[in-house]
Amino acid sequence: MDANRAPGTSAGTEDWTTPGTFEVAPGVHRIPLPLPNDGLRAVNVYAIEDGDGLALVDAGWDVPETRPALAAGLAAIGCSLGDIGQFLVTHAHRDHYSEAVALRAELGTTVRLGDGERASLDVLASPGWAPLVPQLQLLRSCGAATVADDLLAVMGQAGSAQGPLGWSYPDEWLVEGPLDLASGRRLAVVETPGHTRGHVVFHDPAAGLLFAGDHVLPTITPSIGFEPALSPDPLGAFLGSLAKVRQLPDAMLLPAHGPVATSVHARVDELVDHHGRRLDEVERAVVAGASTPFEVAMRLRWTRRERTMDELDLFNKMLAVAETWAHLVLLAAQGRLVASGVLTPPTFGDIGELAPVDVLQYRVP
């Protein structure tokens, strides 16, 4: 929830969410697609000219507004939806993945996704799966039962046990290594767990480009650990992935949310610094007497507006608790704090009858 602007971005001089088609490099076009009722406002899809067709990095959210916006964006470069040969999806969140699955059903387009997302899609395909069960269980384990109860009340009948709501597996699971396009362009698939367990970025070293998905965002910090199959140490994984990307040659940052920026390295350094400061703040909250992740989150400030937890909407309260938990997990792994309690795995069935939880607590050594 950090919000400082990366060096080299055009934030403040233009609105990156403005509809249209924008060439960011020869043969690469940015098409922002709308995200209705979402604080992020838009997601950048990148159309790469690929021989007689196109390869798209990410796909957008399968809502009515997406299809016409994507079709119009492709028409601006003389193409149509039928010209999409494949989707290269950075991770399985709905604003990146769901439109790819929908178009595949209609057009037969190939969908490729990082192998690390398999665990979350297995959860989403589980019999009796219900929305947000793992996240609700995490909230309760973090001492935030009131937030979980409020979410349940808002979800209403949508929280009843139900099927996978259109989630399905990709045609191909991507692993780290080279990925050759028909045009001769060679991308490198780089596994970057953290935002999700299976997040990948696509590095184009010849063109000096990084298709970063949600791993490196220019104006906000990505949420950590918000996924069906929880990582045991999401922040540790995220910081390790930042270090991996920092070791690559510097490149133009092509993010999923926000304006294009000239330097991946500069933004990575800012993100590492932000989380270093946040770890210190979380540790101080525990020293001052907070013990559960929820109690710690209540003592912190959120977003660039320095909001309290009580000022956040329910969805962002959930993200705030999950991110606080991720920082506490890493502090315990570093030996700066001592953890007690065991994270209760989610069970499926009646969402109103979740298994009892062991509330996590942290203290100074």
Tell me which residue range forms the domain holding 315.
133-163+288-363
Q: Are residues 84 and 206 in the same domain?
A: yes
Cβ neighbors of 284 (< 8 A, separation 6 or more) are none
For the cut 70, the answer to whether the pLDDT of residue 38 exceeds it is no
- Average pLDDT of the chain is 89
Does the residue 344 lie in any domain?
Answer: yes
Averaged pLDDT for residues 137-161: 78
Query: Which has more confidence, 315 or 185?
Result: 185
Q: Are residues 196 and 320 in the same domain?
A: no
* DSSP for 302-326, written as a single string: BTTTTB-GGGS-HHHHHHHHHHHHH
Averaged pLDDT for residues 26-45: 91
Averaged pLDDT for residues 114-132: 83
pTM: 0.91
Does the residue 58 lie in any domain?
Answer: yes
Q: What is the reported pLDDT for 348?
A: 55
Does the residue 54 lie in any domain?
Answer: yes
Q: Are residues 219 and 259 in the same domain?
A: yes
Indicate the number of domains in the chain.
2
Is residue 57 within 8 A of residue 90, CB to CB? The reply is yes
For the cut 80, the answer to whether the pLDDT of residue 334 exceeds it is yes
Q: What is the reported pLDDT for 192?
A: 98
Q: Are residues 176 and 260 in the same domain?
A: yes
List the CATH number of the domain containing 197.
Answer: 3.60.15.10
Does the residue 228 lie in any domain?
Answer: yes
Averaged pLDDT for residues 248-262: 97
Q: Are residues 93 and 180 in the same domain?
A: yes
Q: Are residues 83 and 137 in the same domain?
A: no
- DSSP letter for 142, please: T
Nearest partner of 325 among 240, 225, 199, judged by Cα = 225
Q: Are residues 87 and 204 in the same domain?
A: yes
Distance of CA 121 to the CA centre of its chain: 15
Q: Are residues 299 and 237 in the same domain?
A: no
Model confidence at 169, pLDDT cuts 50, 70, 90, reads very high
And the tokens for 53? 């067709």
Q: Are residues 115 and 208 in the same domain?
A: yes
Averaged pLDDT for residues 122-150: 84
Q: Are residues 112 and 188 in the same domain?
A: yes
